[in-house]
């Protein structure tokens, strides 16, 4: 395929009609998909269908309905594993979302394997969900917690990272894509460096990558990859953790209770096999079915096409926003970024900007994006963030630009 420049791409997907919330709100310009995505009718139908035709507690009943629920839960895991390039679907554990997946690795692998004097590395662009669990683990274990600095244009400083690694490094946690800047991090380079200088496990926060471009876990080169269903057209409350099978086998359970046990004796308990060992309690079968419908929908579009649509939108948005006097865009060039655009406008506080944009029907995020360490380094209390997905088109960018100009009109322009 001939490689085209971003400016030559056109955002050709026209999918708004598939999303009931957007259909019901014709004037709404939803630009906060990095926080959560809207849901296509296919996903809502799948949820309803599960509850209307298959609802029972999986893995428990001997009756046909429970068998059906179990089967659908299992099929959903296979479908999602296929979507994310995981051949061994038993190494895909359903979680509430990325946060739970990362806490699972820190709480289980970390508690069992990190000792006093060991070192844990995270990056300054990590979401709190991939920062705080490791910070807490380090404090509990007396391990050293080290934060990798960034380059001025918002990428992981690979030289700095290289300098942090040594034989005591036990964990390197980083995000595939920064939720605040959109930076796409080079996993192969990071993995090579980490493998060469340490025996650390690589833990990747995939919350912002799985929804937006093709991801194949088996060839990614990391040991753990966590993702959220609700950011990729699926329901809230479901996501997954994909892990290295051998590590998962050796790890102690994260939570205990129903579904994850094999035998409970009065004095001890043995654990179920993967993946159920890490899925205590009644499984979130309905939402797993919903997420399977979401990846089915994404596959029908094609993840390459999802990516090129977003790149085209990003390129257009970048061009139009940078033409606005006083508007500052954070992060690397558009071509090295996912569909996330983080910016400030003169001395207009991002919350005021978001309120004024709300007046124009434009939903953006304003705040620290759960990345306070990053905000400190950018030396801003907050940024405004517009993020794109499959249902957005150029009219959303028009509305965004009009809203920003309106904010300038209300506030006047005062450079910071």
Partner 1 sequence: MSQPRSSAEIGALYQEMILDHYRRPRNKGTLENADASVEMKNPLCGDEIGLQVAFEGDCVCDLKFSGRGCSISQASASMMTQLVKGKSSGQIDAIRKQFRDLMLGDSSAADDPEMRSLRALSGVARFPARVKCALLAWNALASAMAERPSQGTPS
| 412 interacts with partner 1 by CB under 8 A | yes
The active-site residue, picked from 148, 204, 363, 370, is 370
Residue 120 dihedral angles phi and psi, to the nearest 5°: -125, 130
The piece of 22-30, 153-161, 294-302, 386-394 that touches partner 1 (CB under 8 A) is 22-30
Q: Which of 149, 360, 394, 398 binds partner 1 (CB under 8 A)?
A: 360
Q: In this complex, which beta carbon is closest to partner 1, that of residue 309 or of residue 368?
A: 368
Task: Count residues binding partner 1 (CB under 8 A).
Answer: 28
In the stretch 370-399, what mask flags binding to partner 1 with x, by CB under 8 A?
A: --x--x-----xx-----------------
**What is the pattern of x (binds partner 1, CB under 8 A) and - over residues 319-348?**
----------------------------xx
Please tell me whether residue 411 binds partner 1 under the rule CB under 8 A. Answer: yes
Distance of closest approach, residue 366 Cβ to partner 1, in angstroms: 7
Which is closer to partner 1, CB of 31 or CB of 193? 31
Q: Is residue 370 annotated as part of the catalytic site, yes or no?
A: yes
Q: Which one, 49 or 352, has the nearer CB to partner 1?
A: 352
Should residue 88 be labelled a site residue for partner 1 when binding is judged by CB under 8 A?
no
Does 80 sit near partner 1 (CB under 8 A)?
no
What residues line the site for partner 1 (CB under 8 A)?
A: 21, 24-25, 27-28, 347-352, 355-356, 358-361, 366-368, 372, 375, 381-382, 410-412, 414
Q: Which residues are catalytic?
A: 370
């Amino acid at each position: 395929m001939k490689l085209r420049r971003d400016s030559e791409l056109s955002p050709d997907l026209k999918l708004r009609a598939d999303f009931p919330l957007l259909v019901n709100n014709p004037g709404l310009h939803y630009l906060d998909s990095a926080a959560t995505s809207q849901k296509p009718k296919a996903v809502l139908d799948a949820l309803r269908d599960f509850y209307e035709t298959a609802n029972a507690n999986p893995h428990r009943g001997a009756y046909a309905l429970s068998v059906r629920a179990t089967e659908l839960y299992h099929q959903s895991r296979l479908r999602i594993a296929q979507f994310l390039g995981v051949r061994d679907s038993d190494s895909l554990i359903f979680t509430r979302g990325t946060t739970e997946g990362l806490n699972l690795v820190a709480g289980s692998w970390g508690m069992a394997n990190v000792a006093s004097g060991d070192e844990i590395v995270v990056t300054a662009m990590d979401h709190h969900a991939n920062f705080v669990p490791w910070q807490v683990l380090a404090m509990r274990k007396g391990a050293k917690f080290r934060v990798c600095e960034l380059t001025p244009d918002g990428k992981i400083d690979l030289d700095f990272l290289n300098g942090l690694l040594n034989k005591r490094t036990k964990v390197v946690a980083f995000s595939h894509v920064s939720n605040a800047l959109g930076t796409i991090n080079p996993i192969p380079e990071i993995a090579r460096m980490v493998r060469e200088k340490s025996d650390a496990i690589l833990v990747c926060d995939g919350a912002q990558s799985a929804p937006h471009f093709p991801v194949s876990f088996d060839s990614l080169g990391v040991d753990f990859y966590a993702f959220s269903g609700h950011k990729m057209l699926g329901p809230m409350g479901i996501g997954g953790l994909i892990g290295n099978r051998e590590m998962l086998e050796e790890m102690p359970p994260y939570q205990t209770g129903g579904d994850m046990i094999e035998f409970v004796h009065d004095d001890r308990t043995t654990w179920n096999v993967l993946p159920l060992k890490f899925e205590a309690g009644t499984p979130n079968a309905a939402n797993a079915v919903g997420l399977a419908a979401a990846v089915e929908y994404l596959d029908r579009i094609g993840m390459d096409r999802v990516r090129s649509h977003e790149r085209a939108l990003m390129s257009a948005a970048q061009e139009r926003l940078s033409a606005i006097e006083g508007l500052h865009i954070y992060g690397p060039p558009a071509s090295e970024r996912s569909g996330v655009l983080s910016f400030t406008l003169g001395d207009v506080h991002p919350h005021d900007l978001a309120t004024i944009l709300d007046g124009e029907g434009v939903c953006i995020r304003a705040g620290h994006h759960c990345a306070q360490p990053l905000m400190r380094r950018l030396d801003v209390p907050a940024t405004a963030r517009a993020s794109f997905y499959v249902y957005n088109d150029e009219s959303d960018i028009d509305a965004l630009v009009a809203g920003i100009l309106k904010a300038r009109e209300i506030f006047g322009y005062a450079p910071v």
